[in-house]
Structure formats: structure tokens, C-alpha cells
Amino acid sequence: MAKHIVVIGAGVVGLSAAVALQEAGYDVTIVARDFPGPAETFDGLQHINFSSPWAGAHNRWVPPLPSGEGLREHRFALTTFARMRALASAATESTAHGITFMKGIEYVDTGAAVLADVYGLLTEARAQSAELAMPGFRLLGADDFPDARVAWGCEYDTWCVNPMVYCAFLLRRFVFRGGRVARRELRAVAEVFALAAADAVVGRGGGGVVDAVVNASGVGFGGPEDGVFPTRGQTCLVANACDATVTRQHADGSWTFCVPRGFEGGTIVGGTKEPDSWDPLPSLAVRERLLGSMAATYPRILEGAAGGDFTVIRDVVGRRPTRKAGLRLEGELLPGAVAGGGDGFVMHAYGLGGRGYELSWGVAEGVVTGVREYLEARASSTA
């Protein structure tokens, strides 16, 4: 019989892991408090701890340092890029998958800290090398810059998703292929083992056996003891279309970016990155600053717009589930978690911060590997 894996979380990380586990032959149940739905109906205050609806979401290539720092994440981003391309090209015209391919443009202002290492050290040859393999990468020249404050720029091929269209697509695919879902709010990861014994849905109606749990709970159970904290982001959703996803880093550390969502989702104009800020309310002054800066950075976004201006749909505030030590992708045994006293295995997959979509399929592969290695070791120790 196929082993039964319970994934906690139905954000982009939990959903991707669930689909990947299913493809690897496991029986999978997703348990979560929040599930994807039409973003238009989501109350910003009520759903604020659910990150996935509030992302842009685009893929920005973040080149790893020559020292190798950041290389694992870059590989995860390459894996995700390949998977997004395969999903979009295998889809029939009627599949609303929410993925759009387009150019990504980066501008970095004089004085921005990233110029000292990441961007300053990036040549075309290195970007196009087999190791980095950044598709369509090209350095831009001063003629391509919007103003004289920009010191460095590049463009590349990338993808954007309309987050809730994409996540709902993953959820439909998962259920269509036999996956089960249960909407439950948990107080702790270990609760899943006890719940499964009592709950016909989570326990798959049988003996309530859970062979492994995946902790993709975002900022859900996060506490200071684990170094989990939110990085607040305020953006503005506008109806204006845009032909590229553009990101600019300013000398003072602030950001301007736009992410066309496609699928009649408008364009996200952002955005702030505020570690440890729990403020759920958007600021009108910030909205004005973001829109003004975007218009100056990429005037094409207003070409053909009614009245030559932005049409605001809503302000957005989200919490990026960040972890001080970075992404946690590893297994852990919870002593005595299984009814009867056995240890329960949990594969952690959280702390992706602002890169949950970008790294999703790489992390999902890591989850499958971790679960498989644990189950193989368990089988050989009891054989």
C-alpha cells in the first residue's frame, strides 16, 4: 500500500510539495486553515497570515556569489523555471494555470549595496555559464536606463504568476489525481498524528496511519524561538497592463517593482520590505510613492492608459514568512508523536521569505527526497 503523507499548508509551498509527493507515488492529504480561492473575495485583514495570495508573483534571478553562497537557492529557482515552462506549455488553451512568460528587467541605482557584490560581480559570461544558466540574460547600457541614477541594469527571460489562479490550479490538479484535503486549524505540527487517528478525512478513513508529515505552514506556527518573523510588504494592485516585470533597487535600500499577473489579474506595483512589522493597514502615502516611482522607472506601464494614469483596484498588505537562519528544508523526529508512543517524522519546508513562488519546485523536490530517505531508512531498520 502507498505510504500516507500529510502536508500541513496549502500555500504555494505546501501545494507544490503535495503535487510532487503524489507524482512520486505517495497517498497525500493536505491539512490547512487557508486554501486558495478567488483573490477578489479575500479580506486582507482576515487572511493576512496566509502569504501566498498577496505575492506578485514574479521570478527574479538572484545571482549567487562566486563563493557559492546562494547557489542552492539559485538551483531551486532554475528547477522552478523549468517546471513553470513545462506546466505552461503542456497546458491546453482552456487550462487556467496562471503562468505568463515575459522579460524581466532589473535596474540598480548608484550607491545600492548590491552593486558591491552580487551585481558588480555578474558578467554576461557568468550569467550564461552552465552553472547559472540565466535564460535570455543581457546587460543593459546607459541608453536603456530610465534616468542617470541607474548605474547597472540587465534583462532576462522569466515568468510571472497570478497567485490565486496558479495555486487554485495546483489544488485542482492535486484533487483530480486523488489527493485529499481537510480544512483544519492546528495548534502544533504533532497534532496531525493524533488527529489522523480520530479523523476520517485526515486519517484517510482507515487506520489513521500517517507515515510522514510535511510542515509547510509559512508563518503559521512561527515564533521568535524558531526565528520566524513576517517581512511586511505593501503593494498596489492596478488594472493597467504591462509587458515586462521590472525591478529597481534604490540607493536607500527601497524597491520599486511591477508584476503583471495576467489572466485578468491586473499588475502589482510595489513595494515595501519591512522586517518584523505587523501593521496590517496600507498607507496612502506609500501607495502614492510606489506609483510615482513606477511611472518614472518604466513609463511604458502608462502607455495607452485611461487618462495616462494608474487605475487602482486595491492596496495590498502581506507578510512574507521569513526565518532568520533562512529556508528550513530538513527532517526532524518528534519523539512520541505517534499514537502508541512512536516517533513521528516531519519534513520542514518553511522560511522562504520573499521567494516562495520562485523556489517552490526546487523545495518540493527536496521534500520528496527527504521523505523518501526517511521511509527507506525506516523500512531497512525494521526489515
Ligand X SMILES: *[C@@H]1O[C@H](CO)[C@@H](O)[C@H](O)[C@H]1NC(C)=O
Ligand Y SMILES: Cc1cc2nc3c(=O)[nH]c(=O)nc-3n(C[C@H](O)[C@H](O)[C@H](O)COP(=O)(O)OP(=O)(O)OC[C@H]3O[C@@H](n4cnc5c(N)ncnc54)[C@H](O)[C@@H]3O)c2cc1C
Q: How far is the CB of 350 from ligand X (least distance, A)?
A: 5
Please name the residue that has the C-alpha cell 544558466: 133
- Torsion angles phi and psi, residue 320, rounded to 5: -75, 125
Binding status of residue 222 toward ligand X by CB under 6 A: yes
Binding status of residue 277 toward ligand X by CB under 6 A: no
- For 23, the grid coordinates are 507524482
* Residues 51-90 close enough to bind ligand Y by CB under 6 A: 51-52, 54-58
Of 6, 28, 170, 259, the one binding ligand Y by CB under 6 A = 259
Closest to ligand X by CB, 230 or 260: 230
| Bridge partner list, 331 | 347
Cα–Cα distance between 143 and 304 in angstroms, integer? 23
The residues near 134 (Cβ < 8 Å, ≥ 6 apart) are 61, 63, 127, 128, 156
Burial class (CB in 10 A: 0-12, 13-18, 19+), 237: buried
Binding status of residue 361 toward ligand Y by CB under 6 A: no
Of 16, 79, 100, 217, the one binding ligand X by CB under 6 A = 217
Binding status of residue 233 toward ligand Y by CB under 6 A: yes
Q: How far is the CB of 34 from ligand Y (least distance, A)?
A: 3
- For 166, the grid coordinates are 496558479
Among left, alpha and beta (phi > 0; psi -120 to 50; other), residue 96 is: beta
Binding status of residue 350 toward ligand Y by CB under 6 A: yes
* Residue 231 contacts residue 275 (beta carbons within 8 Å): yes
Binding status of residue 322 toward ligand X by CB under 6 A: no
46 contact choice in ligand Y, ligand X, none (CB below 5 to 8 Å, kind-dependent): ligand X
Total of residues contacting ligand Y (CB under 6 A): 41
60 C-beta neighbours (distance < 10 Å), count = 17
Contact track, ligand Y, 172-201, x by CB under 6 A: -------------xx---------------
The residues near 200 (Cβ < 8 Å, ≥ 6 apart) are none
Contact range with ligand X by CB under 6 A, out of 117-125, 200-208, 269-277, 345-353: 345-353
Cα–Cα distance between 209 and 195 in angstroms, integer? 10
Binding status of residue 362 toward ligand Y by CB under 6 A: no
Contact range with ligand X by CB under 6 A, out of 11-19, 114-122, 139-147, 210-218: 210-218
* Residue 257 contacts residue 251 (beta carbons within 8 Å): no
Q: How far is the CB of 382 from ligand Y (least distance, A)?
A: 31
* Residues 260-289 close enough to bind ligand Y by CB under 6 A: 271
- For 193, the grid coordinates are 498524528
- Torsion angles phi and psi, residue 122, rounded to 5: -95, 115
Cα–Cα distance between 36 and 10 in angstroms, integer? 7
Closest to ligand Y by CB, 128 or 199: 199
* Residues 173-192 close enough to bind ligand X by CB under 6 A: 188-189
Q: How far is the CB of 35 from ligand Y (least distance, A)?
A: 7
* Residues 224-253 close enough to bind ligand X by CB under 6 A: 226, 228
Among left, alpha and beta (phi > 0; psi -120 to 50; other), residue 336 is: left
Binding status of residue 32 toward ligand X by CB under 6 A: no
Of 203, 220, 265, 362, the one binding ligand Y by CB under 6 A = 220
DSSP code of 58?
B
186 C-beta neighbours (distance < 10 Å), count = 16
Write out the residues near ligand X by the rule CB under 6 A.
Answer: 46, 48-49, 188-189, 215, 217-223, 226, 228, 346, 348, 350
List interacting residues with ligand Y (CB under 6 A). 8-14, 32-34, 50-52, 54-58, 185-186, 216-218, 220-221, 233, 235, 259, 271, 318-321, 350, 352-358
